[in-house]
């Protein structure tokens, strides 16, 4: 049986005026969604069509023709998952409370007095949930899409794996991950939890390797002596068993959603049949990696 929620915060008509904006904020403005490659019009399984070409240089001093080099076409599948958020609100639960002045009993006057503030909280909650799912989503679950940790575990034979024991400093751990990144990767980054990122920054301060540069950006810092940016993301906070560091090019990572059809929506309305307010958010989400072999997966055991 659905729960009855007595918490009501709205301004009349806000969702109707801004539903597309709220949906976009929910799906696209998290730490990782705005950094990854965006695939739209995803309604389920969507193929990443990959073309990879190897160039072979040959001796050009003689005439003749000797073809060499290969172009390989492959696919990886982004598994888009349909997910929803359904909530109900009985405003009468607020009667005889400090908020009873906000309740309008007369038929036809049903409004939610703090809609804008409440929907902002909903957007933040959906963003946080998707951000965590991007990394920690479990395979085969009905209410979440598979995240990068699970995807890369399946591709562990292809990825470069770096393991560190409990007690290894954040700086030493991230440095070992950086040394495993292929030199052919352009604009490499290391994604880690914000907890690990803060520990890394304190290691730099203690070693006198820290000098604030505003060009680094919020929760971003160049690993000293390298061109590799360390980025702290909320989605890797609290991962089970290990502190993870995922390194490579952001161009290798894809986030998929629909955003082009009615499969995704953000609605809030008063149900006369049920005499309550109802919220419905429906969206499709998923992540995938184009080239697992170009990623480094670092794992530091938790204490």
Q: pLDDT 10s digit of each residue in the chain, 303 long? A: 455 454 333 334 667 778 888 888 888 888 899 999 999 999 999 998 888 888 889 888 888 888 888 988 888 999 999 999 998 877 666 556 544 445 555 445 456 656 777 778 888 999 999 999 999 999 999 999 999 999 999 999 999 999 999 999 999 999 999 999 999 999 999 999 999 999 999 999 999 988 767 667 778 999 999 999 999 999 999 999 999 999 999 999 999 999 877 678 888 888 888 877 788 999 999 999 999 999 999 999 987
Could you tell me which CATH class the domain 14-51+72-301 is placed in? alpha beta
Closest CA to 221 of 190, 195, 185, 242: 190
Q: Which DSSP string do the residues of 154-166 spell out, in sequence order? A: HTTTTSEEEEE-T
For the chain, the structural domain boundaries read: 14-51+72-301
d(CA 288, CA 285): 11
Q: Which residues 6+ apart lie within 8 Å of 18 measured at CB?
A: 119
Closest CA to 173 of 148, 140, 196: 196
- CA angle, residues 286, 288, 292, in degrees to nearest 5: 165
Phi, psi of 185, rounded to the nearest 5 degrees: -75, 125
């Amino acid at each position: 049986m659905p729960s009855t929620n007595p918490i009501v915060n709205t301004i009349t008509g806000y969702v109707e005026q801004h539903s597309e904006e709220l949906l976009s904020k929910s799906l696209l403005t998290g730490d990782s969604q705005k950094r990854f490659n965006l695939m739209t019009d995803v309604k389920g399984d969507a193929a990443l069509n990959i073309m990879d070409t190897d160039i072979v240089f040959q001796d050009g001093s003689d005439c003749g023709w000797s073809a060499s080099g290969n172009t390989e076409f492959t696919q990886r599948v982004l598994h888009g998952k349909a997910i929803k958020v359904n909530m109900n609100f009985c405003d009468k639960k607020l009667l005889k409370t400090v908020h009873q002045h906000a309740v309008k009993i007369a038929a036809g006057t049903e409004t939610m007095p703090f809609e804008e503030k409440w929907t902002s909280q909903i957007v933040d909650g959906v963003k946080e949930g998707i951000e965590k799912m991007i990394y920690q989503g479990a395979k085969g679950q009905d209410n979440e899409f598979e995240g990068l940790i699970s995807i890369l575990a399946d591709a562990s034979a292809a990825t470069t794996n770096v393991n560190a024991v409990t007690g290894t400093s954040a700086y030493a751990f991230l440095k070992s991950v950086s040394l495993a990144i292929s030199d052919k990767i352009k604009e490499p980054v290391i994604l880690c939890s914000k907890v690990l990122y803060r520990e890394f920054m304190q290691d730099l301060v203690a070693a006198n390797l820290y000098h604030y540069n505003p060009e680094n950006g919020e929760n971003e810092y160049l690993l000293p002596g390298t061109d590799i940016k360390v980025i702290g993301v909320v989605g890797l906070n609290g991962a089970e068993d290990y502190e993870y560091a995922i390194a490579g090019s952001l161009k290798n990572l894809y986030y998929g959603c629909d955003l082009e059809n009615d499969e995704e929506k953000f609605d809030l309305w008063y149900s006369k049949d049920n005499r309550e307010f109802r919220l419905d958010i429906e969206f499709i989400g998923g992540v995938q990696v184009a080239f697992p072999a170009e990623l480094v997966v670092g794992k530091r055991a938790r204490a």
